[in-house]
Amino acid sequence: MTSRSVYGALIATAFVLPSGPAAADALTAATGTQQPLNATAIAMFLGFVAISLGITWWAARRGTSTAKDFYAAGGGLKGVQNGLAIAGDYTSAATFLGVTALVYTSGYDGMIYAIGFLVGFPMILFLIAEPLRNLGRYTFADVAAYRLSEVPVRAVAGVNTLVIVVFYLIAQLVGAGKLIQLLFGLPYIYAVGIVGVLMMIYVTVGGMLATTWVQIIKAILLMSGSVLMSILILGHFGFSLEALFRAAVTLHPKADAIMAPGGLVKDPVSAISLGLALIFGTAGLPHILMRFFTVSDARQARTSVLVATGFISIFYSLLFVLGFGAIAIVSANPQFRDASGALVGGVNMVALHLADAVGGSLLLGFISAVAFATILAVVSGLTLAGASAASHDLYARVIRRGRASEHEEVLVSKAAAVAISLIAMGLGVLFENQNIAFMVGLVFAIAASANFPVILLSIVWPDLTTRGAVSGSLAGLLASVGLVALSPGVWTAALKLGPAPFPYDNPALVSVPLAFAVSWAVSVLDRSAAAASVRASFGAQHVRAQTGLGVE
């Protein structure tokens, strides 16, 4: 496998922005032969499913009939619980397997992506977490709609959310299907069906409370698995990092080049664009933002980010140990190679081989089950975010103009969760053999360009008007979708239309500034009476954003 296609495989599975034409071949590269049925893994996975269904039943008995219970778990989660759930939302199975695989192939370069995933997190806290908690109730659109004219703002935010959720779900489900095929030896369509049905049950029956607990348990399992594997790896090398790295350098064909950047990020424009998308995309992902409405106040929101950042920091640092451990332990072992000398099941399986090598079939089963649990937690969070946008923003506020009863709103939300699950499963099956890598790029691009500027400006800039917010958001949406369509990843690799009109795979460097500029220009030029009135109401919003006065 060439490093180019490995890079593509990582992008598809680790959900980084694609940045080369090879990216679109990602999942073709990620597929491999189906594994024999893995009994330990299936038993442990069934255990996880049984526990999570028990939690769903418990959550349902606690009540999911009020909007606050359904969308925000009653709003009474502790900061620590919520922080673990955020970590659960953010650490996908694909990062675990994909980053380990990239470090295994390219060494240090894998680290660059792990770092990129992290930098967006503190920014959420510094810029938007507290005002978000003080101004919002269930969705991030609540914040923008606080003083701006509700219907257009919610319509745009709701559509953005649904687009992000559906694309992200397709990417997750296709990746999950391929992964489960490899891990458990189940046919693709069963894998997509199982994940889809379980996420539908968690969300519709247990609402945010059940979803949160699934994420918390998954986060703890994933962390325990990574810590355990790291300890076992370091144990092989007398708990000396130097010895581990030295063994890796000795075995890897690139030798000591694996300890330094090796050209994965080449031109500065792509590098900066990727950086922008990672920083601002994270702060615009609806399922992450939604988690700030499950805590009682700004103080708990801060604690959430601290716990999540700490957790994710340790997790990503451990991935480095796992990746180099894989070079030092798996690459030397002929047991994990097929007749042609390639890694059994493809390079994305390297974390699993590593588990097998250091902990035997029991650890292999545990790590496989954790990877499956991880997929479930991530897709459940996404589905709930999509369902909230459909019912709270689009149905209750835009279509029914606030006349829907709360009971009706929750029913619509559950129906929307079922619909989103069915659509995602259908598209997941349809896209099985399609190149889906660009979808992840699209998700981050839309989040960074269409959501983040509007959220930030509505919080900090008194002169933002409704027209400014809506046109800025639409400009960000159209520019990001349009430029991704014209990029090498889609234009050249997926659609095979020849040289791409837009030379970069990542549109953030153009679309994020564009969204800010359009919001600014339209707001400044807006002389309408409505604009004057929303500008005048900034003071009230500012008081509440800063102090939380008046929060229910």
Partner 1 sequence: MDLQTIQQHPTFRQLASERTRLGVAMSIVMAAAYFSYILTIAFWPRLLGYPLWSGTVITWGVLVGVGLIALGFLLTAIYVRHANSRFDSLSQLLLEDLR
Q: Which residues bind partner 1 (CB under 8 A)?
A: 108, 111-112, 114-115, 118-119, 121-123, 125-127, 130, 241-242, 245-246, 249, 256-257, 259-263, 265-268, 271-272, 274-275, 279, 298-299, 302-303, 305-306, 309-310, 313, 316-317, 320, 460, 539-540, 542-543, 546-549
Nearer to partner 1, 115 or 197 (CB): 115
Closer Cβ to partner 1, 16 or 274, answer by number: 274
Run of H or E residues at 271? helix 268-282
Query: Nearest approach, Cβ of 421 to partner 1 (angstroms)?
Result: 34
d(CA 416, CA 408): 12
- Interatomic CA distance for residues 191 and 144, integer angstroms: 38
Q: What angle do CA 141, 142, 148 make, to 5 degrees?
A: 85
CA 83 to centroid of chain Cα atoms: 15
- Residue 235 makes CB contacts below 8 A (sequence gap 6+) with none
**Which DSSP string corresponds to 275-337?**
HHHHHHHHTT-HHHHGGGGSBSSHHHHHHHHHHHHHHHHHHHHHHHHHHHHIIIIITT-GGGB
Structure tokens at 432: 């099985």
Smallest distance, partner 1 to C-beta of residue 176, A: 27
Which CB sits closer to partner 1, 263 or 341?
Answer: 263
CB atoms inside a 10 Å sphere around CB 79: 20
SS3 sequence, 328-344?
A: HHHCCCHHHECCCCCEC
10 SS3 class: helix
Least Å distance between CB 249 and partner 1?
5
Q: Which residues contact 58 (CB under 8 A, 6 or more apart)?
A: 210
Nearer to partner 1, 427 or 512 (CB): 512
Q: Give me the least distance between CB of 159 and partner 1, in Å please.
A: 28
Closest approach, Cβ 367 to partner 1, in A, equals: 23
Secondary structure, 3-state, 529-551: HHHHHHHHCHHHHHHHHHHCCCC
Question: Distance between terminal CA atoms of the chain?
Answer: 56
CA distances from 98 to 30, 103, 179 (A): 10, 9, 11
Give the pair of three-digit tokens for residue 106. Answer: 């390219």
Cβ of residue 158: shortest distance to partner 1, in angstroms? Answer: 28
Query: How far apart are CB 466 and partner 1 at their closest, in Å?
Result: 21
Cβ 279 to partner 1, closest distance in Å? Answer: 7
Classify residue 497 by its DSSP letter: -
Nearer to partner 1, 38 or 541 (CB): 541
* Residue 213 or 315 having the CB closest to partner 1: 315
Q: Among positive and negative, which fits the CA dihedral 213, 114, 350, 173?
A: positive
Taking the least distance from each CB to partner 1, the nearer of 329 and 389 is 329
Residue 209 and residue 60 in contact, taking contact as beta carbons nearer than 8 Å = no
Please name the residues in contact with 28: beta carbons below 8 A apart, sequence gap of 6 or more. Answer: 433, 435
**51: its two tokens:** 């526990």
Instruction: Give the span between the Cα atoms of 551 and 134, in whole angstroms.
Output: 6
The C-alpha angle 276, 282, 288, rounded to 5 degrees, equals: 170
Dihedral (Cα; 516, 83, 176, 174), 10-degree rounding: -20
Of 263 and 498, CB closest to partner 1: 263
Q: What one-character DSSP code corresponds to residue 16?
A: P
The minimum distance between CB 303 and partner 1, in angstroms, equals: 7
Query: Rounded to the nearest 5°, which phi and psi values hold at 134?
Result: -75, -25
C-beta of 130 vs 393, nearer to partner 1: 130
> Whose Cβ is closer to partner 1: residue 99's or residue 494's?
99
- Least Å distance between CB 276 and partner 1? 9
Cβ of residue 271: shortest distance to partner 1, in angstroms?
4
Residue closer to partner 1 by CB (options 38, 506) is: 506
- Minimum CB–partner distance for residue 114 and partner 1 (Å): 8
Q: Which is nearer to partner 1, 63 or 550 (CB)?
A: 550
Measured from the CB atom, the residue of 326 and 390 that comes closer to partner 1 is 326
Q: Which of 164, 73, 95 is nearest to 452 (CA)?
A: 164
CB of 78 to partner 1, least distance (A): 15
Q: Among residues 120 and 196, whose Cβ is nearest to partner 1?
A: 120
- Residue 476 and residue 159: Cα distance in Å, rounded? 13
Q: C-beta of 439: minimal distance to partner 1 in Å?
A: 24
